[in-house]
Structure 1
Amino acid sequence: MMIKNIIFDFGGVLLDWNPRYLYKDYFRDGREMEHFLADVCTPERNSELDCGFPFAEWVRKYQKMYPEYSEAIALYHTGWPKMLGGLLPDGAALLRDMKSAGYGIYGLTNWSAETICYAYEAFGDLKPLFDGIIVSGEEKTLKPGPEIYRILLDRYSLRPEECVFLDDSRQNVDGAIAVGINGVLYDDIARVRSELSGLLK
């Protein structure tokens, strides 16, 4: 079956997102920052936001659990845009190349509905190149669960075997493969382009 559509993850593929960009100036001690990000505002807890948990409630919830970090937890919300480092040039160039070659371009991201606007701002003139975008926080379901991939396929009338999904998480790639979508792990850009070329032949 011919590939017609390329589906892009956002963070780690198209956008540079890292809470350390925000907190390196807040915490004087790098070890304390790493403790905070490993034990307080963890990736697992960030996933609650990606699944649609209201940001203000999330802040209050963890401020009660960690009152000594109340200010730092509030900053996770108020300072969120500073976590974005901007477009990743390799991923952006790949997207432009695929669009120019005539492929449908879609986005599938685990991202809070309340902060996705900052991602769109960072995209700049890349944003209009998308034919459709699914945001976990708006759908209240996350990769790598099957539901979010099916939402994308159903909403845009896509056939899974005609799609390739690019993500920097092996779990998320495997989630796509489980519903019949071709998956490519996004790591080294030369390897990604080579694997993609093989699928597009």
Structure 2
Amino acid sequence: MPAEVDSLRKPCIGVTIVPKTRFWHNKSKEAMMIKTVIFDVGGVLIRTEDRTPRRKLEQRLGLQPGESEVLVFNEKVGNAAQLGKITSAELWGWVQQKLGLDDAGVAQFQQEFFGGDRLNTSLMAYIRSLRPAYQTAIISNAGDNLNRVITEIYPIADAFDLVVGSAYEGVMKPDAEIFKRTLTRLGRRAEETVFVDDFAHNVDAARALGMHAVHYTPATDVPAVFAQLGVVPPG
């Protein structure tokens, strides 16, 4: 995903499994009255569909396969950026220094690193179809330029009533606090929401609070899963 972006096991009553998709829901009538759908960004709304540019980048720089992703996302510096302790610009400055790149080199690194990223257009079309019958929201572990990413690079911000980014909050998924803040701002109870994320530990954290949760994979049919939860587009 663009440089700036892009992430507790206590089910209440039942677990339902659909092929290649894991999701949980409380089967009570009250719990099925979902009013808000919440999505992760990286890995769900914006996906790295082709990793060839990253592998070529790594070969060119003499890095091991996957090492570029560790540098950008998983080092302590990357986590610091997602927590808002440093800016995204400072993160890329660190990558530049780590790899001994000049300004043009780090710009090329970013272009190649995110060269295989694509917007999940079908999922976005579905999300838009749910409005205004359902509230829509984002919870993303992302740097301080998440807003620029979803307004300028991938213009999807208008499809969401609330955007909660970890760098702005100083807290990351799977910390329960970021979910609690989101629920408060939406004015919803946990059982009135469903959360979609590609990391199981984030899904588990949402479940622990009583939220419905879907563990997203490329094979996940979100409309079908949501329909089983009673969420369907209006009309």
TM bin (shorter chain): 0.7 to 0.9
In the alignment, structure 1 residue 87 sits paired with structure 2 residue 112 = no
Give 1:98-137 correspondences, 5 Å limit.
98-99=130-131, 102-124=133-155, 126-137=156-167
Offset from partner CA, 1:68-88 (integer Å, 9 cap, x none): x12189727983696262311
The CA deviation at 1:170 is 1.1
Segments of 5+ residues of structure 2 without an aligned counterpart are 1-29
In the alignment, structure 1 residue 189 sits paired with structure 2 residue 220 = yes
Q: In the aligned structure 1, how far is the partner of 2:68 from the partner of 2:136?
A: 33
Q: In the aligned structure 2, how far is the partner of 1:157 from the partner of 1:195?
A: 24
**CA separation of 1:135 and 1:19: change in aligned 2, threshold 3 A:** farther
Q: In the aligned structure 2, how far is the partner of 1:51 from the partner of 1:142?
A: 6
Q: Which residue of 2 aligns with 1:139?
A: 169
Q: In the aligned structure 2, how far is the partner of 1:115 from the partner of 1:133?
A: 9
**CA separation of 1:165 and 1:30: change in aligned 2, threshold 3 A:** same
- TM-score, scaled to structure 1: 0.79
The CA deviation at 1:93 is 2.4
Amino acid across the alignment from 1:4: K
Q: In the aligned structure 1, how far is the partner of 2:82 from the partner of 2:41?
A: 13
Segments of 5+ residues of structure 1 without an aligned counterpart are none
Q: In the aligned structure 2, how far is the partner of 1:116 from the partner of 1:82?
A: 20
Deviates more, 1:148-157 or 1:14-23: 14-23
- TM-score, scaled to structure 2: 0.69
**CA separation of 1:121 and 1:39: change in aligned 2, threshold 3 A:** closer
- Which structure is higher in helix share? 1
Deviates more, 1:142-151 or 1:112-121: 112-121
Q: Which residue of 2 aligns with 1:198?
A: 228
Offset from partner CA, 1:20-77 (integer Å, 9 cap, x none): 576556454486262532654453443322111323444555666x4xx121897279
Amino acid across the alignment from 1:7: I
Q: Which residue of 2 aligns with 1:158?
A: 188
Deviates more, 1:87-96 or 1:55-64: 55-64
**CA separation of 1:81 and 1:128: change in aligned 2, threshold 3 A:** farther
Q: CA RMSD in A?
A: 3.3
Give 1:9-24 correspondences, 5 Å limit.
9-17=40-48, 23=54
Identity of aligned residues (%): 25
Q: In the aligned structure 1, how far is the partner of 2:73 from the partner of 2:220?
A: 28
Q: Which has the higher contact order (CA 8 A, sep 6+)?
A: 2
Deviates more, 1:21-30 or 1:175-184: 21-30
Aligned residue pair count = 195
Q: In the aligned structure 2, how far is the partner of 1:150 from the partner of 1:183?
A: 15
Deviates more, 1:22-31 or 1:10-19: 22-31
